Structure 1
Amino acid sequence: MRRPTRTLARLGTFAVIPAALLAAGVAVSTASYSAFSATSSDGADNWSMGTVALTNDASNGALFSASNLKPGSTGTNCIAVTSSGSLPSAVRMYAKDVTQTKALASSVTLQVKQGAGGGYGTCDGFTAATGTDGTLYDGSLASFVSTRKDYASGLGTWKTAGTKPETRTFQITYTVSPDAPATLMGATASLGFTWEAQNL
């Protein structure tokens, strides 16, 4: 068998080189093309919840602690309620933790007015709002505690804007009926006035 000449051997070696270079060129071209990229983004996205908040100037004190009452006894006190939440809300008033003996609430009338001025412990400077925003309730204490028991049934026309703190003063007056019977001697009644705000 004849051995190939040196010339043929060299030609075979040189013929492989262009093919390798071509393959490398294709690989480089493909890699460069796949690296092309572009993005577009907005700024940092944030979410925060609004608030509904109510406080009053009574510092958890009772509006009334009246004892030794008799037919015709009466009393008045005020309380300033402030809304400081960031959301628009509706504020309503109702009774909670109601207890009584001898149906005393049936012989007591209650009047609730809404306005401005005055505050807990004194109604000096209080001015009632006009129209239906002024007198919110004028009736028996028994009816108030039986019909105004939660937010859904509560009293109120106050709607806050939520843009800044807002304050309303509530003037509450009770009167024992002049015709209260002698059977009510020693009778008691207790309740808590509650103001609640819910966002609109």
Structure 2
Amino acid sequence: MRKSWIVLTGQVLPVVAGFVLSGGLVWQASHSAFTATTSNTGNSVGAATLNLTNDSTGPLFAITNAVPGTTGSRCIQISSTSPVASAVKLYTAAGTAPANNISAYVGIRIERGSGGTYDSCTNFTPAAEVFDNTLANLITRTNYDNGIGPWALSGTTTTETMSFRVTWTFATNAPDTTQGGSTPTVTLTWEAQS
């Protein structure tokens, strides 16, 4: 009986040794003998910055006690310091319409040009009329896609400017029903996209 136990042990040991040796060969075969690498470092992307400012210190129009035929105008200068070319458009956002909304009787004329500032339109030189309709129509321009424009900015390291003159007129044919009426508060927004 002892002899058969020794024979069994003698058969198991070569099998175990064979597994160990074949595992070592497989490990050596899966590790290549040659390698080479090359690298390119420092890769990054920096986005340009679009920057628009204006010289206003208050609203372009905030009129009270207007009567039919009352008119006025004010200028605003838009400045860009963007290093890339872009296109500027003008659109609006309007507050809640009042019960007696007179926007349909307020004419708005917008001209683009040069010179003129928020403080004075004296040196304004018009280049083109870009809008001539009612305030009711203007406030339908609510985003860049349906905005007024575009006007090109070339994108330079110096400041580029464009001026706008906004003229408002309370219609001479405004009916008696407009008495005591008002318009929603309107925000004019100039947006540049490249």
Q: Is 1:155 matched up with 2:148?
A: yes
Equivalent residue letter for 2:76: I
> 5+ unaligned residues in a row in structure 2: which ranges?
1-32
1:112 aligns to 2:110 (yes or no): yes
Q: Deviations over 1:31-76 (max 9, x none)?
A: xxx9xx99877684443111111100014x2111211100000010
Of residues 174, 194, 200, the one that matches 2:168 is 174
| Letter matched to residue 193 of structure 1 | L
Paired residue secondary structure (1:179): coil
2:50 maps to which of 24, 43, 52: 52
Q: Which residue of 2 aligns with 1:197?
A: 192
For the residue of structure 2 that corresponds to 1:100, the secondary structure is coil
Larger Rg, first or second structure (1 or 2): 1
**Could you tell me the TM-score, scaled by structure 2's length?**
0.75
1:105 aligned partner, one-letter code: S
Q: Decide whether aligned partners of structure 1 residues 143 and 77 sit closer, same or farther in structure 2, where only a CA change above 3 A counts.
A: same
Q: Provide structure 1 residue ranges, at least 5 long, that are not aligned to the other structure.
A: 1-33
In 2, the alpha carbon distance for the partners of 1:188 and 1:166 equals 36
Instruction: Give the match's secondary structure for 2:138.
Output: helix
Please, which of 76, 79, 99 is the counterpart of residue 79 of structure 1?
A: 76
Q: Does the 8 A contact of 2:74 with 2:120 survive in 1?
A: yes
User: Contact (CA 8 Å) 2:94, 2:139: kept in 1 or not?
Assistant: no
Q: Which amino acid aligns with 1:156?
A: G
Distance 1:127 1:192 in 2: 24
Structure 1 runs of 4+ off > 3 angstroms? Answer: 37-46
Deviation of 1:162 after TM superposition, in Å, equals: 1.2
Instruction: State TM-score, norm by structure 1.
Output: 0.72
